Amino acid sequence: MKYKHYLILLLLASSFFACQQNPTQNPDEEVWESIFNGKNIDDWTPKFSGLPKGENYKNIFTVEDSLLKVQYSPQDTFDAVFGHLFYNTPYSYYRIRAVYRFEGEQVKGGPEWALMNNGLMLHCQSPASMGIDQAFPTSLELQLLGANERRSPPNANLCTPGLHVMLADSLHRPHCTDSSSKPYPGEEWTTVEALVLGDSLIQHILDGEVVMEYSKPILDGDLAEGSRKDGEAVNAGYISIQAESHPTVFKSIEVLNLCGCTDPKARNYKSYYVKSDLSSCEY
């Protein structure tokens, strides 16, 4: 009898341990990945115009007090060295959410249009594919803009270096286009989001409201640098932030991948995936 009791206890303990090792996942629970770890930029690659990728010019991109900063020395004068910091993993179907604000004064010599101006660059070409003197990657820019006493632009506008998009069912060629958002004070923390579904739909979102929507980005062969072809569809790419002369602080940058296992029988199935990758399924 004692042996049977011992065997039952052993089986119960084993079952409990197995549950602890492989907890049941809620298929509806969103799993956001913080692509900025609050410690360093080891998972990111800087690229400044005129310099090879990987060189962090004047240490402009830095981490202080768990914040990702785009900073300039008060003694600096902006010399048209535009920079971008690329996350090292490309995405295609995803949501992105960032919390940011502008900090202090624009560096001397910075262009007027760059006042309280940064961006989440979506579907970027890779930093390795950029020309040495290329100022901006081919990308879809969700502009991060701040209002102050000097100007009050809408936020989450669209700029399209090297690309065109479909807007309201028509091919849209202007480089920058205003969103429908209200102005947001530049020195206050602001949360901005985007929904990116390959090349079928891209939305810019503020306070839960879609303020810009477009689709089907394609390359402009006269503007895009590199070997990609005119009219080529752009449905994936890297994420980057900018260094355009105004100090900017990011509290967080998170991504919810919408591509993954769509088999409900798998351990890692998620109901919100919109793009199937059955090779990622775990059983």
In order of their start, the domains of the chain are 28-280 (2.60.120.560)
Beta bridge partners of 185: 147
Q: What is the DSSP string of 5-31?
A: HHHHHHHHHHHHHHHHHSPPP-TTS--
For 26-85, the pLDDT digits (tens) are 999 999 999 999 999 999 999 999 999 999 999 999 999 999 999 999 889 999 999 999
Q: Does this model's pTM top 0.75?
A: yes
Is the pLDDT reported for residue 6 higher than 60? no
Average pLDDT over the chain reads: 90
For 83-119, the pLDDT digits (tens) are 999 999 999 999 999 999 999 999 999 999 999 999 9
Higher pLDDT, 160 or 2: 160
Structure confidence at residue 1 (pLDDT): 47
Asked whether the beta carbons of 85 and 61 are under 8 A apart, the reply is yes
Which DSSP state fits 126? P
For 198-212, the pLDDT digits (tens) are 999 999 999 999 999
For 168-185, the pLDDT digits (tens) are 999 999 999 999 999 999
